[in-house]
Every structure is written in structure tokens, then in C-alpha cells.
Amino acid sequence: MKTGVVGVTLASVLAAGLGAFGQANLQSFPAGTTTMVFHIVTEDLSEPQLLELHVVGRADGTYTVRMVLEATGTADQMSAFGFVFGAAGFMYGGGQDVGLAALQTLMDQRRRLQEGQEYTLPSGATFTDVSWVTIAGVECVEGSIVDPRNPDSRTTIAFSLSHPVYTVPRVRMERLRDGRWETVFSMELVEYAFVGG
């Protein structure tokens, strides 16, 4: 019973985390099945995790969203760490004072962002090193969120431009340790497929 309650709670946090970063409205997905596969790496688990999202759009205007999360680790790691907690950290700006409003603004304005430019966020952080990248066949704009009040952390994030993606195609949170940037959490789209309905 305890395991079931924990599982439902974790699934709810995961769904809320992904929903908060849903950069494509469901209406953006065409009739058929869009499959998105993400690799997730956290410093707390020795093996990468796999997140598979399916969005099924139907001609009658209804949608089904299915998530499959696969993770391997010790009992302690599986009960206390992993993607869900990484997603919760990302929801709060990856340890930076970024805020959901700033991230939503970047998502909403992503088509207006210019390569090589730097943008100041309301929190005082900047969105910098803006460039065009292709992730699993999806054209994206990517940049790093840097906060001068927290110089030992940075978050790199990519927003989809060419395809509807249920969440951001890539996010990487890093910490400066002993003069080296180390990734503490990353989630990256590694497969994107669409089959018409």
C-alpha cells in the first residue's frame, strides 16, 4: 500500500513538472501518434533513465498522453532520487532564481530570440549563448541561463521551433566544482517520431 501511494504521488509530481514546461499546446499535435523519447541523467543515479512520451491526437479533437519512465538503481536511489526530484528541481529553476514566469516568457518568445544575443530576465539573470541547434531532428533555439548572484550554477535549455514537443527538448543543469562545470541533471530528446492517424 505504501509503495502504491508513493508511486501515485511521484507520478503526480512528474506530470506537474512536465505540464509546467509544456511548450506545445496539445492542439499543436496533429492527428496521429507523436512519440518523444528522452534520456535523463542525474548525479544521484549511476544509469541513465528513459522517459517515453506519446501524444495521440484523434480526429474528434481528443488526445491521449502516455508517459513511461524507466529507471534503474538501488532501492534507496529509487525511493529518494531520480528524474522526479530532478524535475522538481528544474521547476524551481535548477537552484537558480529564474522562476517559472521567466522560463514561460522565453518559451513564448522563442521564435523572436536571435542567435548570439543575450537577454536579461526579470530576475536579473541572463539568457546567453543563444544558438540554433538540432536535437533528434527537431530545430531548436538554445541558450544558458546565468545568474550573477549564483555564479556557480548555470542551466542550458532548448526550445523547439520546428515540431510540437510536449516538454523542452533539452535541459542541462550544471554546477561549478573545483574549477570544472559538472552536470548534475540533464534531460535530452533522443528520438522523435510521428505516425499519421
Q: What is the dihedral of CA 108, 114, 117, 122, to 10 degrees?
A: -10
* Cα distance between residue 150 and residue 35, in whole Å: 36
pLDDT tens-digit profile of 67-100? 888 877 777 766 644 444 444 444 434 444 445 6
- With a pLDDT cut of 70, the percent of the chain lying above it is 74
pLDDT tens-digit profile of 110-164? 888 899 889 888 778 889 999 999 999 999 999 998 888 888 988 899 999 999 9
E strands, the chain, are 32-42, 49-57, 63-70, 119-120, 126-135, 138-146, 153-160, 170-177, 180-196
Q: Where are the domains of the chain?
A: 2-196
3-state secondary structure of 77: helix
Q: Which one of 9-18, 53-62, 87-96 scores highest in mean pLDDT? A: 53-62
Dihedral (CA of 124, 165, 187, 135) sign: negative
Looking at residue 4, what is its pLDDT? Answer: 31
Whether residue 90 contacts residue 17, with contact meaning beta carbons closer than 8 Å, is answered with yes
Q: Which residue has the higher pLDDT, 91 or 46?
A: 46
* Cα distance between residue 159 and residue 188, in whole Å: 11
Neighbours of 39 (CB within 10 A): 14
What would the mean pLDDT of 163-175 be, rounded to a whole number?
Answer: 90
What would the mean pLDDT of 163-173 be, rounded to a whole number?
Answer: 90
